[in-house]
């Protein structure tokens, strides 16, 4: 009997598909890497399992950072497995190659990346020739069981997906070509004078960075100007009201900072105030009704912007939360969408969603849903239901499934989506806007009043939104106005010029940067207009968060609060690209054009060949410009340092590669200079100033050795007797020489706490924290203690506060910047005093997850191996102790007898706790006792109730509960 293989993007989606198909296709049997019944085999990737690479004959192994081997433009691409998921790939390929599997269904996420993930797996499975099995596409907008079944009833054909597949491959190959060639070319250029300065560029990440750098340049160059506003208070018969002077004849000109209500001299402002003070004014006013419609439904970018503005969530966090609400809780529709409308046949679903919300028990949302249903607000509207504005996915809205067990952050995001969904169906908010002009000839003063008449959709958001209505925060707007009778003259009670300063443009936050990426840098505030520009944006809604995170990881940008600030490394890259005239990588709008062409390709309106030819031409030009650049420096806007040259006291100026002495006025430079990017880390201007001033700085992170290893170090400027000048050196804080020489140490800093070995004071000394009795001091020339702990451990700086905490409590907070020497991966740990070992050691936080079946045995074996290795390295005395311990009876290995209640579940044989947990999970799975709404909760049957002592327990409680039932543990 033939079968259909269904490949999902993630294991959780594969499980959802199995659950949805079971009622209509029969029960599935679970295997290690797939599910199977008579009709289907269901398996999954875990994201990208395969990536593209240059074919062997075109790949450069040695000297790849040299111009000699650039550009690399292979005529086709080979595939290679992603190392960490190779076993998963083999499992999926094994199913695809089965003789009884005759056709495939691509059930990866509905979008460009999902299409690429599947296509590359399919190509890899076929090897040198195509797999040759027909493919259909499952296109899911929602993860509810019914939506999945509906998707299987409406599978898309290979032909329908051809455009999306071409765009997916083209995007991947274009990013490879620009990223590989651009990064190698710019790295080669920056490393020409020696060293290795990795300079990463990308088709989308670099134009995004240029937006941030250009904004920072405007801020730095901004010169604030003084201006004045004239504020007055008028008295009418009914009371007082405020007003502000303005020029009714003012028209917008070339001065971008000019406004109708600004004057540019204190004398003019004072003159106006003196001219009207104490006089009577005539009043004219105009009142008119106005409305404000709710914002459109969310797409991913607008949701990320709103969540960043309201809650401070990063784009990455918002995407992860939305993905969890979609995949795990089935509470939201597909989040990686660029559409803000719904299909025209979705009106019945929208009504059902309102019914679910009205009946959900969510007290803060249900009353509004009920209002909408009772007043028949859920009606057809082209603003909401429009097929022409729905691309691959529709807007993000709640599903028909009311969620439970949400985290606080998930609940916040869910509420945000639900309120926006309800708001678009509610009537517009209605206001009365009154504009009052008070005239003391020839001067005019304006007062605007805005009164909310009918809240409409604002009722969903409450008072907070009503206060935030357009103009409601401007001081002279939004107030209730006291009435003025027709023809009534009012008195100028008070008039004051108010001195102010113009402000530079604001730095980007993630919310505003996402908006700039969406419109390729064009400042567009209008929702509808921005939507029209979306196809020409930088990246896609699904990739923008990753692009921002990548720039932060590469240290091109920093987060400070909610602001995003470019680093010196970013300015240096932009200076290089501008100097080389590689404008394609600098201009957001040009890259936005390429994104637009990819969207055209998805629709079958542009050939893949034409797009890739354009990318190849751009790549060749970029490499040629870098390779042939023959001037000594790159032109740019460079800084002059405040600190003088340490050698001659002259002025130190920046150029593209170095900070160099320019000499004293009228004198020649002395030759002092130092590189801007030692070991691949670029100095900020403030850091370079501090280095010259103090002759040392650090420890600083982010350096890389020639072999590519990251390291942390102090940097010092020392006088070189041979060169008769100062030079820059790394200082790794090796204190041993001083200690061995017996040189007396004097501590100048306050004590951090008591030494855990001898109780003496602990101080900073060089690159370590040491006991005052561990080094020669005037009080004790011969050291008698051994306590010493590094100020940087595996690249994790250990601040004074953390060492103080360790000395007081026994351990630090959980620190998250350790980097393993073996794997080069980051890890988190506490630093803790290990009394037995007599030194500071790592202490790892307990795992949040129960061990996988079979993991316990592996862990025990690994621990035994580690213990053995440690014993080999330990001194003979310790080894002897361990040998004695090994000869003792091995009681623990035999396990402990379970209680009567536990024996009824896992059997009566003695068992170790990890094995007991494993058996318990086997019982839970076999009897299907996980809560379907929250898999972390175990619902007890009669046997488990006796063990738990309650009706349910969380998965993280199991080990503790079982410990109470094992032989007096």
Active site residues: 334
Tell me the C-alpha distance between 243 and 437, whole Å. 8
**395: nearest Cα among 304, 326, 299:** 299
In which element (H, E) is residue 778 found?
Answer: none
Q: What are phi and psi of 56, to 5 degrees?
A: -50, -45
SS (H, E, C) 897-950: CECHHHHHHHCCCCECHHHHHHHHHHHHHHCCCEECCEEEEEECCHHHHHHHCC
The CA distance from 41 to 29, in Å, is 10
* Whole-Å CA distances, 53 to 65, 78, 171, 172, 429: 17, 5, 14, 11, 55
Looking at the DSSP assignment, which residues form a beta bridge with residue 792?
Answer: 797
Task: Tokens 């094992």: give the residue.
Answer: 966
Going from the C-alpha of 79 to that of each of 104, 396, 418, the distances in angstroms are 20, 34, 42
Distance CA 566, CA 205 (A): 13
HEC string for 710-729: EEEEEEEEEEECCCCEEEEE
Is residue 357 classed as helix, strand or coil in its secondary structure?
helix
Residue 133's φ and ψ, nearest 5 degrees, are -110, 135
Given the structure tokens 């692009």, which residue do they identify?
547
Q: Are 378 and 347 in contact (CB under 8 A)?
A: yes
Tell which residue, 553, 595, 843, has the closest CA to residue 702. Answer: 553
Question: What is the rounded CA–CA span in Å between residue 710 and residue 716?
Answer: 19
Cα–Cα distance for residue pair 724/719, rounded to 1 Å: 7
Tell me how crowded residue 605 is: count the other CB atoms within 10 A of its CB. Answer: 10
What is the spatial distance between Cα 489 and Cα 484, in angstroms, rounded to a whole number?
Answer: 9
Helix-helix angle 913-926:855-873, to 10 degrees: 160
Please report, for residues 221, 516, 562, 569, 588, the alpha-carbon distance to residue 214 in angstroms, rounded to integers and kept in the order given.
11, 12, 18, 14, 11
Residues facing residue 41 across a β-bridge: 5, 36
């Amino acid at each position: 009997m033939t079968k259909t293989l269904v490949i999902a993007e993630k294991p959780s989606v594969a499980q959802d598909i199995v659950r949805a198909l079971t009622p209509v296709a029969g029960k599935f049997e679970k295997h290690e890497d797939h599910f199977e019944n008579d009709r289907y085999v269901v398996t999954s990737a875990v994201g990208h399992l395969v990536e593209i690479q240059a074919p062997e004959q075109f790949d450069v192994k040695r000297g790849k950072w040299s111009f000699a081997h650039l550009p690399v433009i292979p005529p086709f691409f080979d595939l290679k497995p992603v190392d960490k998921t190779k076993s998963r790939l083999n499992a999926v390929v094994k199913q695809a190659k089965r003789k009884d599997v005759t056709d495939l269904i691509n059930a990866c996420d509905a979008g460009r990346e999902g299409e690429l993930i599947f296509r590359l797996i399919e190509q890899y499975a076929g090897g040198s020739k195509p797999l040759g099995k027909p493919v259909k596409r499952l296109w899911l907008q929602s993860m509810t069981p019914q939506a999945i079944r509906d998707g299987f009833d409406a599978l898309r054909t290979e032909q329908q997906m051809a455009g999306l597949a071409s765009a997916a491959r083209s995007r991947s190959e274009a990013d490879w070509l620009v990223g590989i060639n651009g990064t190698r070319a710019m790295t080669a250029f920056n490393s020409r004078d020696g060293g290795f300065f990795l300079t990463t560029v990308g088709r989308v990440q670099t134009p995004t960075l240029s937006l941030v750098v250009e904004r920072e340049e405007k801020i730095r160059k901004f010169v604030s100007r003084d201006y004045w506003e004239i504020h007055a208070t008028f008295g009418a018969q009914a009371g007082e009201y405020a007003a502000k002077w303005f020029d009714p004849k003012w028209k917008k000109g070339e001065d971008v900072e000019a406004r109708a209500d600004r004057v540019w001299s204190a004398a003019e402002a004072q003159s106006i105030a003196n001219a009207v003070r104490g006089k009577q004014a005539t009043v004219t006013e105009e009142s008119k009704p106005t409305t404000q419609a709710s914002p459109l439904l969310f797409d991913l970018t607008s949701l990320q912007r709103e969540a960043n503005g309201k809650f401070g969530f990063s784009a990455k966090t918002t995407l992860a939360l939305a993905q969890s609400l979609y995949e795990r809780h089935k509470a939201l529709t597909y989040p990686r969408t660029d559409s803000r409308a719904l299909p025209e046949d979705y009106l019945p679903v929208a009504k059902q969603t309102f019914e679910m919300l009205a009946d959900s028990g969510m007290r803060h949302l249900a009353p509004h849903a009920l209002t909408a249903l009772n007043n028949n607000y859920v009606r057809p509207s082209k603003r909401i239901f429009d097929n022409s504005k729905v691309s691959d996915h529709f807007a993000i809205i709640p599903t028909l499934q009311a969620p439970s067990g949400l985290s606080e952050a998930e609940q916040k995001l869910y509420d945000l989506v639900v309120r926006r969904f309800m708001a678009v169906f509610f009537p517009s908010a209605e206001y009365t806007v009154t504009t009052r002009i008070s005239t003391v000839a020839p001067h005019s003063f304006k007062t605007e009043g805005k009164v909310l008449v009918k809240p409409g959709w604002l009722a969903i958001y409450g008072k907070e939104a009503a206060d935030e209505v357009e103009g409601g925060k401007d001081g002279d707007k939004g107030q209730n106005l006291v009435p003025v009778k027709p023809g009534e003259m009012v008195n100028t009670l008070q008039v004051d010029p108010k001195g102010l300063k113009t402000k530079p443009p604001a730095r980007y936050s993630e919310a505003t940067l996402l908006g700039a990426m969406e419109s390729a840098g064009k400042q567009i505030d209008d929702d509808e207009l921005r939507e029209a520009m979306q196809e020409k944006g930088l990246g896609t809604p699904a990739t923008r968060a990753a692009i921002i995170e990548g720039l932060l990881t590469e240290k091109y940008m920093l987060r400070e609060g909610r602001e995003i600030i470019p680093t010196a490394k970013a300015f240096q890259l932009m200076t290089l690209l501008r100097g080389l005239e590689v404008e394609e990588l600098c201009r957001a709008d040009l890259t936005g054009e390429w994104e637009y062409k990819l969207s055209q390709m998805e629709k079958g309106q542009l050939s893949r060949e034409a797009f890739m030819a354009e990318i190849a031409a751009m790549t060749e030009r970029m490499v040629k410009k870098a390779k042939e650049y023959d001037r000594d420096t790159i032109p740019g806007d460079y800084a002059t340092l405040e600190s003088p040259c340490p050698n001659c006291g002259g002025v130190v100026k920046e150029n593209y590669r170095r900070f160099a002495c320019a000499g004293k006025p009228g004198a020649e430079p002395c030759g002092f200079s130092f590189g801007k990017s030692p070991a691949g880390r670029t100095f900020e201007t403030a850091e370079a100033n501090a280095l010259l001033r103090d002759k040392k700085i650090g420890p600083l992170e982010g350096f890389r050795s020639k072999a590519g290893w990251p390291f942390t170090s102090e940097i010092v400027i020392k006088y070189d007797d041979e060169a008769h000048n100062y030079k820059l050196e790394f200082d790794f804080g090796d204190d041993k020489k001083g200690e061995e020489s017996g040189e007396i140490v004097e501590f100048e800093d306050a004590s951090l706490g008591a030494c855990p070995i001898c109780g003496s004071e602990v101080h900073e000394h060089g690159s370590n924290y040491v006991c005052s009795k561990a080094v020669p001091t005037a009080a004790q020339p011969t050291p008698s203690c051994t306590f010493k702990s590094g100020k940087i451990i595996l690249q994790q700086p250990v601040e004074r506060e953390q060492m103080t905490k360790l000395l007081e409590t026994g351990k630090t907070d959980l620190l998250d910047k350790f980097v393993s020497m073996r794997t080069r991966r980051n890890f988190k740990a506490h630093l803790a005093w290990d009394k037995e070992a007599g030194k500071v050691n790592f202490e790892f936080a307990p795992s949040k997850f129960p061990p996988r079946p079979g993991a316990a045995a592996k862990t025990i074996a690994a621990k035994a191996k580690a213990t053995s290795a440690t014993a080999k390295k330990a001194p003979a005395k310790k080894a002897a102790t361990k040998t004695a311990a090994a000869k003792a009876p091995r009681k623990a290995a035999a396990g402990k007898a379970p209680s009567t209640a536990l024996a009824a579940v896992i059997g009566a044989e003695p068992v170790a706790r990890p094995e007991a947990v494993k058996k318990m999970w086997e019982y839970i799975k076999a009897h299907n006792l996980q809560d379907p709404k929250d898999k972390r909760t175990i619902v007890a049957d009669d046997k488990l109730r006796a063990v738990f002592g309650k009706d349910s327990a969380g998965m993280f409680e199991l080990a503790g509960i079982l410990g109470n039932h094992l032989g007096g543990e």
